[in-house]
Amino acid sequence: MRKRTIRGGMRLMLAALLLIILTSFFHGLVADVLSLSVAAEERFYNLGILGAAALGGYGVILTVFGFVLPADLYDVRIRLLPLFFMIVGAMMLFFYLFVSSFNAPVKEERLRPGETITI
């Protein structure tokens, strides 16, 4: 078991989880901060999910190869448990935000300049 390779894969999986959280729950906030149009916000969401899938897939493959490869001399000093707890924490944050999104009140969208209300 090569711990350095496993740690690299776990870091990529953590980055993928954080990117999914950012794009899934805070894409509106990012669009407001960066003054993105609706099309650019959709592009940000799509590219964020695509990037998270790529990072997560590569992280899983790297972790599996780390389990298959033989141990290295310097693997004794590498600790995997703190990174594992960070991944579990990110997963708990994701599920908390997911469940709390069901209970959130419906937020009224402000009209953009030039839009009208049809009654």
DSSP 8-state symbol, 79: -
DSSP 8-state symbol, 114: T
pLDDT in tens, the chain (119 residues): 889 999 999 999 999 999 999 999 988 888 889 888 888 989 999 999 999 999 999 999 999 999 999 888 888 889 999 999 999 999 999 999 999 888 877 777 777 777 777 77
Asked if residue 2 lies in contact with residue 66, where contact means CB atoms within 8 angstroms, the answer is: yes
